[in-house]
Copies of this chain bind each other. A is one copy, B any other.
Amino acid sequence: MSIKFTVTERDGTSLARNGILELAHGSMETPAFMPVGTNGSVKAISHQKLEEMGVPLILGNTYHLYLRPGTEVIDAYGGLHQFSSWKGNILTDSGGFQVFSLATFRKITEEGVRFRSHIDGSYHELTPEKVVGIQNSLNSDIAMVLDVCTPPDIEYREALKALEITTAWAKRSLKEWQLHDPAPGRALFPILQGNFYKDLRQRSAEELLPLDFPGVAVGGLSVGEPFPLFLEMLHHTGELLPPEKPHYLMGIGTPEYILAAVENGIDLFDCVFPTRIARNGSVFTPRGVMALKNARFEKDTGPIDSECDCTACRRYSRAYIRHLFKAKEILGPMLATEHNIHFLMRMTRNIRTAIRNSAFREYKEAFLDEYRGKHT
């Protein structure tokens, strides 16, 4: 096995579990939130701050890094770690999602996907093999296969077609990955698709899981569907996942989604949302999301969250940070970003403690009661 994953504790009352994931750039505890560093930088926060918070892994986006600065530049450094000077682990997505959400034109064939760059309109083609090659250049600790992402409202035929291509691409990706003879501590994950059809999710699992991948990702959820549908599909999919391997749910990172993910056996998750809303002045607190631009904080001398020990909460008041956002000062996004990542790091630490104590469900209920304003 290219990477080592050990389940250390199980909650018992749900699929929630704690684990240790050993990767080329360090071991990490799971469940873990992975901040997104699209262009090789988590927006509005320094590497040092992430290190101080104990972030063990950040994401990079293959689509973005391939287009800019290009693998040629990153090759000059021997990989994304050296280029960006990030010493921890890096997971890169395959670019599939971005081709579908950002590119101004795309055409899928069995061979790969042709698209136009959202940056300069130039034409490009990505194939499963090429995407593996790029991620090999990036020297990603966890690389992802190219997949076909589908929106929540498509017909069965279309979902089936996307699934078939995704499976075929996963097989080609694995073959290519093995040709590169990756170093220990590096792994390629396939992506379970199947849209919102349970039998297709089942079929995707049946086709992908027997292959020799050391972990598995769940894609195509949290793509705009209602929360109950997300929960239903997550529950269905969670039960299909091999218990001994790490499970990565792509694109989720808010407290309610994180709790649902962990409850269904998810170990890793990422999302741009926490850092994106931070740049817009919204911060997580135990009592829900707080929009700092709100007029009621104009003279509020208290911290965002008195129990938080991030820079923003230790040093600054709500009124000052509100002022920074109103005046469009960059320090506003800097402080709010640090706070939101810090919040999720603390939350996942608390989740792991709850699992250790076989008390995940109690933790979840108590958290959500307070978060949704049911506290007294």
B77 pairs with A326, CB closer than 8 A: no
B46 pairs with A319, CB closer than 8 A: no
When chains A and B are docked, how far (Å) is the Cα of A45 from the Cα of B335? Answer: 10
CB distance from A363 to the nearest CB of B (A): 33
Interchain CB contact (< 8 A) of A329 among B39, B85, B319:
B39
Q: Let me know if A104 is at the binding interface, CB within 8 A.
A: no
B311 pairs with A46, CB closer than 8 A: yes
Q: Tally chain A residues at the interface, Cβ within 8 Å.
A: 39
The answer to whether A73 and B298 touch (CB under 8 A), given A46-B334, A334-B46, A334-B334, is yes
Name the B residues within 8 Å of A320 (CB-CB): 40, 83-85
Name the B residues within 8 Å of A324 (CB-CB): 39, 41
Interchain CB contact (< 8 A) of A327 among B45, B48, B64:
B64
Q: Let me know if A43 is at the binding interface, CB within 8 A.
A: yes
The B-contacting residues of A in range 310-344, CB under 8 angstroms, are 311, 315-317, 319-320, 323-324, 326-327, 329-331, 333-335
B41 pairs with A319, CB closer than 8 A: no
CB distance from A304 to the nearest CB of B (A): 14
Name the B residues within 8 Å of A327 (CB-CB): 38-39, 41, 64, 68
The answer to whether A76 and B319 touch (CB under 8 A), given A326-B68, A327-B64, is yes
- Considering only CB atoms, which chain B residue lies closest to A84 in the complex? B320
Q: Let me know if A124 is at the binding interface, CB within 8 A.
A: no
When chains A and B are docked, how far (Å) is the Cα of A48 from the Cα of B334? Answer: 13
CB distance from A236 to the nearest CB of B (A): 38
Name the B residues within 8 Å of A335 (CB-CB): 46
Write the residues of chain A forming the contact surface with B, with a CB cutoff of 8 angstroms.
38-41, 43-48, 64, 68-69, 72-73, 76-77, 83-85, 298-299, 301, 311, 315-317, 319-320, 323-324, 326-327, 329-331, 333-335
Given A40-B320, A44-B334, A76-B299, output 4 extra A-B contacts at Cβ < 8 Å.
A44-B331, A77-B317, A83-B320, A85-B320
